[in-house]
Structures are given as C-alpha cells and as structure tokens.
Amino acid sequence: MKLSIVTTLYKSAPFIEEFHRRITAEAQKITEDYEIIMVDDGSPDNSLEVALDILKKDSHLRIIELSRNFGHHKAMITGLEHTSGELIFLIDVDLEEPPELLGRFYNTLSDGGWDVIYGYQEQQRKGSWFEKYCGGLAWWLVDLMLPVKIPHNHSTVRLMTRNYTQALVHHKEHKTAIGGLW
C-alpha cells in the first residue's frame, strides 16, 4: 500500500525540517512505500531552498514549485493531483497540527471502511485579534450565503482514500474553497 503525504509551503522555512523528520517517522511506521509532496506556493522566504536541501537526502520527497502564489487551496489541490498513493494524508507544514496524527488517522480509517478522516480544532485558532475578528466575520458571511453549514473549526489535516481524492480534484472551479468540498 502506497501512502502519499501532501503539504504546502508558504513562509514555512522555520517548520520544514522538523515537519519532515516527524512525518517521515510516522510514514515509516505504516509503510516503506510512501511519498512526501511539498508544494511551494510562491513562498517569499527560503522555504523552497530548505525543501531542496532535504530533497538531496530523501528520495521519498517530491517538490512542486508553483510560478507564483496561487493560494493555499489551489496549492493543496495541485499537490493532491500529483499523488500516486492509495491513501493520501493532507496536512499543513506549520506543525499547528501534529504530524503524529497520521498514525491515529490511519488506525481509524483501517478500522471503519471510511473514505476520509479529518480533524478539527478544539482550541481557538492562532493569530492576532484582528485576524481572529476577520476570520469570524468571514465565517459569518459564509454562513449567511450558503445553504449548507460548514464547521468553523475544521482543519486541513485529513487522511483520504484514492477514490475520495480523485472525486475531490475533479472540481475545476476558478475559485476553490476546499472547506465546502470536504
């Protein structure tokens, strides 16, 4: 069984090495047949250079460099489109969600015949008061406009089957809002 791990890079340089070390350890507990896909979303810092240094030492790593910043959701979809695993783990590189969730999600997925296991945040998201205020305002507007309720505390981290992932990437919208597709 091949496992694909997808993450995006944007102002991520301080987190990449630790993320790589921890996610590699988790992947190796499950299978030796895995790939880690890092999508550089036009990051203005040295995220790409840090990832390229790791690439020299790790044949499991693949890097996709986007020509500019397309946004987090487009970068995630790009990464998902390039996976080859039967299971796909999507997680942010910033360590806000621990890479060790891979093992827990894998055990849950293996036990239940699910297509996706996703996380949610019990604590308030990080950021300044202004970022939290704007985020709350954005969710209020989303709730007003959409007939379907999207959980405000959902997170990026999720483990998905190949079939689920293929259905997800078939949405070729100009403006992609992943939260509404999950």
119 pLDDT exceeds 90?
no
| Mean pLDDT over the full length of the chain | 88
Beta bridge partners of 37: 6, 62
Domains and CATH numbers, the chain: 3-124+153-181 (3.90.550.10)
182 pLDDT exceeds 60?
no
The pLDDT tens digits for 41-70 are 999 999 999 999 999 999 999 999 999 998
pLDDT of residue 171: 72
- Residues 173 and 164: their CA atoms lie apart, in Å, by 17
- Residue for token digits 């308030």? 124
Q: Which helix (H) or strand (E) holds 178?
A: helix 178-181
pLDDT of residue 135: 72
143 pLDDT exceeds 80?
no
Six-digit token string for 128? 């300044």
- Residues 93 and 19: their CA atoms lie apart, in Å, by 6
